[in-house]
């Protein structure tokens, strides 16, 4: 089963965001075998070159870091970097570019708000762009990581102000963004207690057993979702089969 099919299939499963497939389709299409450099030395640049946007090879430091922190092989990382540089010569993806690609997965609804939040959760250094390292780590977390890692990413999505806690207002904001992605015909099929963004947020917040002005830490969020299948469904949008 090729990677593109796996990512598209997984995009509707447990916390595997369509962003994983977005990045593969946009930037990470494998190079033809005969187009790949022949030696490892031609693929890897010394760490001193890291940060050189004009460099056509991945730095050794970034390569080793990604091998350590993801399940991707050196060959996969190198192939994807080559294509990343071809599609993104600047070495960065802007929020506008990300939103445009993301929206293609939801042509019958509005994914702009949700895409903004996904982008924010991936942009770990808050510079308004995604570099190769940020996105590969995000791809790993949303498509190949363990359940807890995926829930850690889900927490970062709901933690809008990045202060380490989730409030009910933040839950409302993300649930509102999720709701915009649901096509109208699917909304009509939702249970009465979650057929609006407000109801969805209220239902999710009650699961954490916190007062309206309370807050939820990462560990509480992860445990709450693991303990309740309803919460698992409410924190994401799963298109109807």
Q: Are 100 and 158 part of one and the same domain?
A: no
Task: State residue 240's pLDDT score.
Answer: 67
Position 102 in a domain? yes
Separation of alpha carbons 11 and 214, rounded Å? 32
Cβ-defined contacts of 219-225 (< 8 Å, 24+): 221/151, 221/154, 221/155, 221/158, 221/166, 222/148, 222/151, 222/152, 222/155, 225/151, 225/154
Of 4-8, 89-93, 105-109, 161-165, give the range with the top mean pLDDT.
Answer: 161-165
3-state secondary structure of 4: helix
* Paired tokens of 58: 């991945």
Residues 122-156 have pLDDT tens digits of 999 999 999 999 988 888 887 766 788 889 999 99
pLDDT number for residue 40: 37
Instruction: Determine what percent of the chain falls in helix, strand and coil, rounding each to the nearest 5.
Output: 60, 5, 35
Contact 174, 236 (CB under 8 A): no
pLDDT at 113: 94
Tens digits of residue pLDDT in 65-117: 999 988 889 998 998 888 888 878 888 989 998 888 888 888 888 999 999 99
For residue 240, being part of any structural domain is answered with no
Query: Mean pLDDT in the chain?
Result: 79
Domain shared by 14 and 93, yes or no: yes
208 in any annotated domain? yes
- 241 located within any domain: no
Q: pLDDT digit string (tens) for 185-237?
A: 899 999 999 999 999 999 999 999 999 999 999 999 999 999 999 999 999 88
Q: What is the DSSP string of 48-101?
A: GGTT-TT-SSEEHHHHHHHHHHSS--HHHHHHHHHHHHHH-TTSEEEHHHHHHH
98/215 same-domain check: no
How many separate domains does the chain show?
2
Whether 205 is covered by a domain: the verdict is: yes
Residues 144-171 have a mean pLDDT of 91
Rounded-to-integer distance, Cα 215 and Cα 169, Å:
10
Q: What is the CATH number of the domain that holds 177?
A: 1.10.238.10
| 64 shares its domain with 92 | yes
Cα 32 to the center of its chain, rounded Å: 26
**Nearest by Cα to 203 from 218, 189, 192, 215:** 192
* Per-residue burial over 85-112, b = 16 or more CB atoms within 10 Å of its CB, e = otherwise: beebeebbbebebbbebbbebbeebebe
Element (H, E) at 120: helix 112-122
Q: Are 51 and 125 in contact (CB under 8 A)?
A: no
Do 49 and 164 share a structural domain?
Answer: no
Domain containing 12: what range?
A: 3-112+122-143
pLDDT at 33 > cutoff 50 = no
């Amino acid at each position: 089963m090729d990677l593109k099919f796996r990512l598209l299939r997984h995009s509707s499963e447990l916390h595997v965001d369509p962003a994983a497939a977005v990045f593969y389709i946009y930037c990470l299409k494998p190079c033809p075998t005969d187009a790949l450099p022949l030696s490892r030395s031609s693929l890897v640049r010394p760490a001193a070159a890291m940060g050189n946007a004009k460099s056509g090879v991945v730095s050794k430091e970034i390569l080793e870091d990604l091998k350590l922190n993801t399940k991707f092989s050196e060959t996969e990382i190198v192939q994807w970097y080559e294509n990343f540089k071809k599609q993104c010569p600047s070495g960065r993806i802007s929020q506008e570019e990300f939103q445009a690609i993301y929206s293609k997965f939801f042509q019958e609804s509005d994914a702009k708000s949700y895409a903004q939040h996904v982008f924010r959760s991936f942009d770990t250094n808050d510079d308004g762009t995604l570099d190769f390292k940020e996105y590969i780590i995000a791809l790993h977390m949303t498509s190949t990581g363990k359940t807890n890692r995926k829930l850690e990413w889900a927490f970062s999505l709901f933690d809008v102000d990045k202060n380490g806690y989730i409030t009910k207002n933040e839950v409302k904001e993300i649930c509102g963004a999720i709701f915009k992605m649901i096509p109208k015909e699917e909304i009509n099929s939702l249970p009465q207690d979650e057929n609006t963004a407000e109801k969805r947020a209220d239902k999710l917040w009650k699961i954490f057993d916190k007062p309206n002005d309370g807050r939820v830490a990462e560990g509480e969020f992860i445990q709450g979702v693991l303990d309740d299948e309803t919460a698992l469904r409410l924190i994401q949008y799963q298109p109807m089969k």
